[in-house]
Every structure is written in structure tokens, then in C-alpha cells.
Amino acid sequence: MARVYNFSAGPSALPEAVLKQASAEMLDWRGSGMSVMEMSHRGKHFSTIATELEADLRALMGIPDNYKVLFLQGGATGQFSFIPLNLLQGKTKACYVNTGAWSVKASGDAAKYCEVILSANSESSKFTTIPDLNAWQLDSEAAYLHYTANETIHGVEFQEVPNVGGLPLICDMSSNILSRQIDVSKFGLIYAGTQKNMGPAGVTVVIVREDLLGKADPSLPDVFNYVVQAKNDSMLNTPATYNWYLVGLVLKWLQGEGGIAAIEQKNIHKATTLYKAIDSSSLYTNPVNVNYRSRMNIPFVLKDAELDKVFLQDAEKQGFMELKGHRSVGGMRASIYNAMPIEGVQALIDFMAEFERTH
């Protein structure tokens, strides 16, 4: 069976070249006579994989030397709690910006450990925009400010890094990390689940500035303590070794594609082309403020909701999978992460145009 175009929001499509390499190395990694999933995480072979993984991520993102890079478990959702427990540093307040479902979850979990200051909230717009930065309410006594760079459900994305003065900036980049160039030095901490742009589910990357470490809540278990994990090279317990390996393959694939600068231009082209097709249509619409439209997750609704089921059925028959929107917002959603080729986006556009013509 031919491979389909997978528009899933996550776990998402992986580069075909990565899957082929993993398949070729399944029984024997680099002449070791073992599959990576059989290796000891303390052995020399996996040590090579782990060293290359961190080095490649540092090179791709330009991560400064004064940042620790951790590869953890528990997903980005786990970090909603681990961040305040690691970074409050004796303070009692933290600022949060709510621009969609995931930032709401993050602020909700943080409220269990501190007073949450809602610096901005776009719920009144049904999360179709981002409040103007000039109107944000910042508290100088807060430990940090947290925001979600890209909301996968609502299709809203920050196009620039917000300037919040002296507050350490904490960012959930789960759905747009490696898709655009960023200056890591502007952040106190970046975290991301890998199942969108970096690999399969099961690994969470945390990039944290060293000066923020060392004052974790005493009740925090060691496995969730950034300092302890950093001292143990993210191997306090047995890590998700095969997933680390797959993330490493994705990073090498991205290097081969020309790095983040090159993939960003492809992402801009893909998103611009799809939004243009939606905006010029009389059947499809996108509800998001044009200044904050996501390059990664593009929601759209049909003028006649009665056609939703037919659209999805016809799309699957043509090999376009996972286009159903999140149950909380309905409609459709095309997630076009790094691994989605331009040809896939154009094929979807052609299908949408034909569906509109016939309906």
C-alpha cells in the first residue's frame, strides 16, 4: 500500500527517509549486531547516540553553553507541573498567557503550586487571536512568564518572541520547535514534546538556562528535578532509548535539508499556499486573526457543516488522513509539520478545490 499524506496533529508524520533508515538499522546498528532498542543505556553504543543527539540539537538551534539540554519523560503535560516546582525559587507567583487549550492546561496545573497571574487571555475571542503585548499585565514579583508558542488545537502562533522585561521567559514549543529560527538566549526555559517535529512520542526536550536551576521545591522527586537529571545526563532512570535514537535521526535529516533556516522557508511556503486556497474559497474559512495564524496547524471549517462527514470520507479515500478538527472546536485541521512535503500540501489543495467544485 502506498503511503498516505498524514495531517495528524500528533503523533505526526515522520520523514520517510528517517523511517527507512530506522528500518535498515533495526537488527544491526552500525555493525553492533544489536538493535538500538536492545542496547544498554550505559553502554558505549548508546553513549554515542546520546552524545550525537545533544550535539546535533545544540548545533541546529544554536543553544548557548550556559543552557542545559535534557531529554525527559512525562510529555509536555508533565512539565506543566515540573516547571513551577523547579523554577519558583521561593517565589509565590508566576505569570501565564492563555491563548488556547494547551496554555490553559499549563496555567491550570501551575495554580496547584503558586498564584497564577493571567497576564493575557484571549478566551473571549474563542482563542482566535493573541492579545496585544502592550496590554499584558506583568508582575515584577513573579518567578517567570509562561506562554505557548503555537496552539495546535486553535491554530494560533506567536510570530515574534514577546519582550517581557526582566521576567524569565518560559515557552512551550511542542508544536513548532525546529520549524523556525529562534534566539534561544531570549528564553529562560524551552520545552517540547517530540511527537510533532522531532520524532515519535515519548521524549520531552527541556532547554534551561543554568542560573534558574538549583532551588527546586524540596518535595520534588529526583526524576523530575532538572539539576539531578542534568547531573545524570538525563539518565537517572532508563530513558526511552529507541525514541532518543529516532529523534537523533530526525535531527540529522533536518541537517541534510539545510537546517532550520531552510525548513522555515518551506514551512512559510506551505502555510501561505494553503491559507491562500482557503481565503479564496467560498466553501472553506479559517477563523484565526491573520496576524497570528499558525504555520503548523491550520484549522478550517466548511460553510455547510453537513458536508463535514462527506469531506472526511472522500479525503481518506484519496489518501489524506487525520484531517478532522479537534473535538472541542470541530471542523477540519491540517497539521503541516516539517515532515509534510510541499507536494502533500498541494495535493490537499487540489482535493479541496475539486470537493468544492462538486459540492
Q: What is the set of active-site residues?
A: 102, 172, 196
Burial of residue 48 (CB within 10 Å: 0-12, 13-18, 19+) is middle
Distance CA 196, CA 8 (A): 9
Closest CA to 332 of 294, 290, 296, 297: 297
Q: Which triple of cell numbers denotes residue 207?
A: 532547554
Distance CA 141, CA 185 (A): 22
Largest Cα–Cα distance of the chain, in whole Å? 63
Closest CA to 146 of 212, 198, 64, 80: 80
Q: Is 119 helix (H, G, I), strand (E, B) or coil?
A: strand
Closest CA to 119 of 90, 78, 148: 148
Closest CA to 275 of 267, 283, 285: 285
Provide the terminal-to-terminal Cα distance of the chain, rounded to the nearest Å.
29
Give the length of the chain.
359
Beta-carbon contacts of 112 under 8 Å, excluding residues fewer than 6 positions away, are 81
